[in-house]
Amino acid sequence: MRLLYFALSLALTAPALFAADLERAKEIVENKCHHCHGRDGEGSSAIYPRLAAQHEEYIAKQLADFKSGRRKGTMNEMAADLSEEEMIALGQYFAAKPPRSHRIRDQELAAVGYYIYHKGNKFSDVPACETCHGSQGEGTIQLPRLAGQHKRYLADQLRNFGNRTRSNDNAIMHSVASRLTELEIEAVSLYVSGMVPSGE
């Protein structure tokens, strides 16, 4: 796995060194990924994450974590036979797909989510989500793009971080998610599902 993380770190600084085989990525998507994530990363169900427009480095890293067992879930089996090059190629494939967002119907609940996302909750020491994930939910190469993600998936992940069912990337997120109430989890997940980063 050291070799994989070395390859991913190089990809962050010199992406031109990796000529991703996007045709191979498309083949993998057709044979495996599209059943849950859709051919364009739109997500076939709200229980699966949308991958469209996600940061390629973040996707590759999550696949590596699933393969190594650092992150637990149904993806462990799916990632087991992926090579380093295929993980990088899949990241690039989905990153190039257009983002989507959800229509928000419960504006009052979304308003609570807006407050938590942008301001946090000083009474329970919950920091603003935008501090790490950006004011438009755009994320970074290390942190996921949240804008437009399925509400149910977001809420499930927050709960998993809170109770440490999510076994990777949970050091900071556990301290945040464990302080959120159920109302706050539902509200911020709803709000984020309707976000689209500026310029997209």
pLDDT at 53 over 70: yes
Q: Comparing 2-95 with 107-193, is the CATH topology the same? A: yes
The average pLDDT across 67-96 equals 97
Which of the residue ranges 51-55, 157-161, 167-171 would you say has the lowest mean pLDDT?
167-171
Q: What sign results for the dihedral spanned by CA atoms 83, 88, 90, 93?
A: negative
Q: What is the DSSP letter of 32?
A: I
Give me the residue label for tokens 């991703």. Answer: 20
Kindly state the percentage of the chain with pLDDT values over 90. 86
pLDDT at 26 over 80: yes
The hierarchical CATH code for the domain 107-193 is: 1.10.760.10
Which of the residue ranges 1-5, 36-40, 80-84 would you say has the lowest mean pLDDT?
1-5
**Mean pLDDT (the chain, rounded):** 91
**C-beta of residue 35 within 8 angstroms of C-beta of residue 102:** no
**47 vs 20: which has the higher pLDDT:** 47
Q: So what's the pLDDT on residue 108?
A: 98
Hey, what CATH topology would domain 2-95 get?
Answer: Cytochrome Bc1 Complex; Chain D, domain 2 (1.10.760)
Tell me the whole-structure pTM to 2 decimals. Answer: 0.87
Confidence of residue 3 (pLDDT cuts 50, 70, 90): very low
**Residue spans per domain, the chain:** 2-95, 107-193
Alpha carbon distance 63, 198 (integer Å): 27
pLDDT at 16 over 50: no
Q: So what's the pLDDT on residue 13?
A: 44
Q: So what's the pLDDT on residue 145?
A: 97
The average pLDDT across 108-122 equals 98
Q: So what's the pLDDT on residue 9?
A: 54
Q: So what's the pLDDT on residue 19?
A: 57
SS (H, E, C) the chain: CHHHHHHHHHHHHCHHHCCCCHHHHHHHHHHHHHHHHCCCCCCCCCCCCCCCCCCHHHHHHHHHHHHHCCCCCCHHHHHCCCCHHHHHHHHHHHHCCCCCCCCCCCHHHHHHHHHHHHHCECCCCECCCHHHHCCCCCCCCCCCCCCCCCHHHHHHHHHHHHHCCCCCCCHHHHHHHCCCCHHHHHHHHHHHHCCCCCCC
Q: So what's the pLDDT on residue 20?
A: 73
140, 143, 146, 152 alpha-carbon torsion, rounded to 10°? 170
